[in-house]
Amino acid sequence: MNASPATTARTTTPAAPTTGPSALSASRTTATAARVLRQLRHDPRTIALLVLIPCLMLILLRYVFDASPRTFDDIGASLLGIFPLITMFLVTSIATLRERTSGTLERLLALPLGKADLIAGYALAFGALAIVQSALATGLAVWLLGLDVTGSPWLLLLVALLDALLGTALGLFVSAFAASEFQAVQFMPAVIFPQLLLCGLFTPRSDMHPVLETVSDVLPMSYAVDGMNQVLRHTDMTATFVRDVLIVAGCALLVLGVGAATLRRRTA
């Protein structure tokens, strides 16, 4: 130890936060969600693309199958579940990647912010966005394009919202393995396309090769699409629908938890 000059250091305790940094803090979570939404508000083009593209695709689909409304019913309902998953996956993976590369993530983790606060904040903000997106797409499909739904459109919306959460969770998880925006975008075909092919959108899962059918059994998008189809064909909530919803929600939570583990306070 060297002879340090006498200092007039104050040893008062700081105006410290009331809650511990590890517990989920509602005000920090909402502050994070508000911040993410504020960032989006400065980017109206992204909002327009997010909200309008699913609607345009549905309109396109409706008139591609102009002669066979039944096909439109099948594919349209499935797509209402798939759109939010894909868009939220892309938006989240890029947003969290930016947070990592800009140094703001390191700064946040050096502050009294729990990892759960950060993730819940993102999920809340993108969940809100997903509600707007899904509400518009579902409304358009059901009331203007004549999508024939036997069950309640609210249930369609519920599944769409859970799909969006799943997309957010997958995007967050994947962004940990992407070093650049280029890589992050390439994870889309890697993570989403196989699920798209195997989810039963193109052909019923029972018609697939048994190996592929087994694989599709463990992919969450299969249950997202199955849930949509349950609403399409049944007036009330079936047991299968409840199972589908629980599986999609469980997967989303599981992947969010794994994603939280990829946020490190100390890095090399």
Partner 1 sequence: MNYEPDPPDTAAPAPAVHADDLTVTRGPRTVLHHLRFTVPRGRITGLLGPSGCGKSTLMRAIVGTQAKVTGTLDVLGRPAGHPTLRSRIGYVTQAPSVYDDLTVRQNLDYFAAILDPGRAAADRRHQHVTQAIADVDLTSHADALAGNLSGGQRGRVSLAVALLGTPELLVLDEPTVGLDPVLRRDLWQLFHDLAATRGTTLLVSSHVMDEAERCHRLILMREGELLAEDTPGALRSRTGADTVEAAFLSLVDEAAGRTRESTR
Residues that bind partner 1 (CB under 8 A): 1-2, 4-11, 14-22, 25, 27-28, 31-32, 34-35, 38-39, 42-43, 102-104, 106-113, 264-268
Min separation Cβ 2 and partner 1, Å: 7
Nearer to partner 1, 38 or 207 (CB): 38
Helices 69-101/181-198 angle, 10° precision: 150
Least Å distance, CB 112 to partner 1, is 4
CA-nearest of 170, 162, 178, 183 to 246 is 162
225, 79, 253, 48: CA torsion to nearest 10: -170
Cβ proximity to partner 1, 28 vs 205, nearer residue: 28
DSSP 193-251: HHHHHHTTSSS-GGGS-HHHHHHHHT-HHHHHHHHHHHHHH-SS--HHHHHHHHHHHHH
Cα–Cα distances (Å) from 85 to 30, 148, 168, 191, in that order, read 22, 22, 8, 11
Whether the Cβ atoms of residue 262 and residue 118 lie closer than 8 Å to each other: no
Shortest CB 129 distance to partner 1, Å: 15
Nearer to partner 1 among residue 6 and residue 67 (C-beta): 6
Nearer to partner 1, 10 or 209 (CB): 10
* Nearest approach, Cβ of residue 256 and partner 1 (Å): 20
Between residues 108 and 256, which has the closer beta carbon with respect to partner 1? 108
Least Cβ distance, residue 17 to partner 1 (angstroms): 6
The CB-of-118 to partner 1 minimum distance in angstroms stands at: 9
Nearer to partner 1, 239 or 268 (CB): 268
Q: For residues 18 and 206, which CB has a smaller minimum distance to partner 1 in the complex?
A: 18
Question: What is the phi/psi pair of residue 150, to 5°?
Answer: -75, -40
Nearer to partner 1, 25 or 134 (CB): 25
Site of tokens 């059918």: 213
CB of 235: closest distance to partner 1 in angstroms? Answer: 44
Q: Is 89 exposed, middle or buried (0-12, 13-18, 19+ CB in 10 A)?
A: buried
Token pair 């299969």 in the structure block, residue:
222
Give the separation between CA 128 and CA 168, rounded to whole angstroms: 12
Measured CA to CA in angstroms, residue 225 lies from 61, 100, 116, 151, 164 at distances of: 17, 32, 29, 15, 13
**Minimum gap (Å) between residue 24 Cβ and partner 1:** 12
Quote the tokens at residue 210.
Answer: 């048994």
